[in-house]
Amino acid sequence: MGLLVNGQWQDHWYDTKASNGHFERSKSQFRHWVTTDGSAGPTGQGGFKAEKGRYHLYVFISVSMGEIAP
């Protein structure tokens, strides 16, 4: 199986040998906060001022394959 990286299709997936077959999630690159005044959040890193109609929250609720009855 492949994956799309920066708009280019790659014919490889994760290096499962290095992780002993386990999926290892990379550290998130999105660590900034949306605050009422635009100040930095609890991490002390950058913040953005909350503005009406500017930000949207998308939530996806999924069911793991183990929960689907055969």
Helix (H, G, I), strand (E, B) or coil at 4: strand
Give the model's confidence band at 22: pLDDT under 50 very low, under 70 low, under 90 confident, else very high: confident
Query: What pLDDT is attached to residue 41?
Result: 81
- The residues, ordered by sequence, that sit 6+ positions from 41 with a Cβ below 8 Å of its Cβ are 32, 33, 35, 47
Query: What pLDDT is attached to residue 5?
Result: 83
Max Cα separation, the chain? 51
Query: What pLDDT is attached to residue 69?
Result: 60
Please provide the average confidence, as pLDDT, over all residues in the chain. 79
pTM above the 0.75 mark? no
Query: What pLDDT is attached to residue 60?
Result: 85
Q: Please give the share of the chain, as a percent, with pLDDT higher than 90.
A: 1
